[in-house]
């Protein structure tokens, strides 16, 4: 039989283990490379698939849930898209680069973020951080 003190110690140890491992697990699970989809063959089907992949990825990786939402999704190249999200005093830009496997499977090969200030936009400066 487990004593009350042993139960408290075990509960505390479980809490410590969870606290240390859950951020690492969440980061691994929410990694952009963890999302994979199989898509069609036409460029329209591929574009649709890349945009759906972006939206699914952002549900778990974009932490600024407030603001004005997505203002633009723009193809910069065949396999590169940029998403712009309005926030207070800034626009967040998230750029996705995709990789197509020979079997038609899509995965995110690179995800980068930068920010553009509204104050800098108003003054005519195009400064991104």
Count: domains in the chain: 2
> What was the pLDDT predicted at 35?
56
> What was the pLDDT predicted at 40?
81
Q: Which contacts (CB < 8 Å, 24+ apart) does range 62-70 have? A: 62/92, 62/94, 64/92
Check whether residue 37 and residue 60 sit in a common domain: yes
Query: Residue 127 domain-assigned?
Result: no
> What was the pLDDT predicted at 121?
60
Check whether residue 15 and residue 38 sit in a common domain: no
10-residue stretch averages of pLDDT, the chain, 129 residues long: 50 39 39 61 91 93 85 96 93 95 87 86 57
> What was the pLDDT predicted at 109?
95
How far apart CA 56 and CA 98 sit, in angstroms, is: 14
Check whether residue 15 and residue 40 sit in a common domain: no
Check whether residue 51 and residue 114 sit in a common domain: yes
Check whether residue 39 and residue 102 sit in a common domain: yes
**DSSP SS3 for 55:** helix
> What was the pLDDT predicted at 57?
94
How is residue 64 annotated by DSSP? -
Element at 97 (helix H, strand E): strand 90-100
115 burial (CB, 10 Å; 0-12 / 13-18 / 19+) is: middle
**DSSP SS3 for 31:** coil
Give the predicted TM-score (pTM) of the model: 0.65
Check whether residue 106 and residue 77 sit in a common domain: yes
The CATH number assigned to the domain holding 69 equals: 3.10.450.630
Check whether residue 8 and residue 44 sit in a common domain: no
33-57 per-residue burial string, b: 16 or more CB within 10 A, e: under 16: eebeeebeeeeeebbebbeebbeeb
Query: Residue 45 domain-assigned?
Result: yes
> What was the pLDDT predicted at 9?
41
Query: Residue 90 domain-assigned?
Result: yes
**9 is in which domain, residue-wise?**
1-30
> What was the pLDDT predicted at 122?
61
């Amino acid at each position: 039989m487990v004593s009350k003190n042993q139960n408290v110690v075990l509960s505390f140890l479980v809490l410590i283990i969870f606290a240390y491992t859950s951020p690492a697990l969440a980061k691994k699970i929410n990694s952009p490379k963890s999302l994979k989809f199989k898509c069609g063959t036409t460029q329209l089907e591929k574009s649709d698939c890349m945009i759906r992949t972006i939206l699914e990825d952002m549900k778990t990786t974009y932490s600024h849930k407030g603001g004005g939402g997505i203002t633009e999704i723009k193809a910069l190249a065949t396999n590169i898209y940029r998403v712009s999200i309005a926030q207070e005093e800034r626009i967040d830009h998230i750029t996705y680069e995709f990789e197509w496997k020979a079997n038609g499977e899509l995965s995110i090969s690179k995800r980068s973020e930068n920010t553009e200030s509204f104050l800098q936009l108003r003054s005519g400066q195009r400064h991104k951080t």
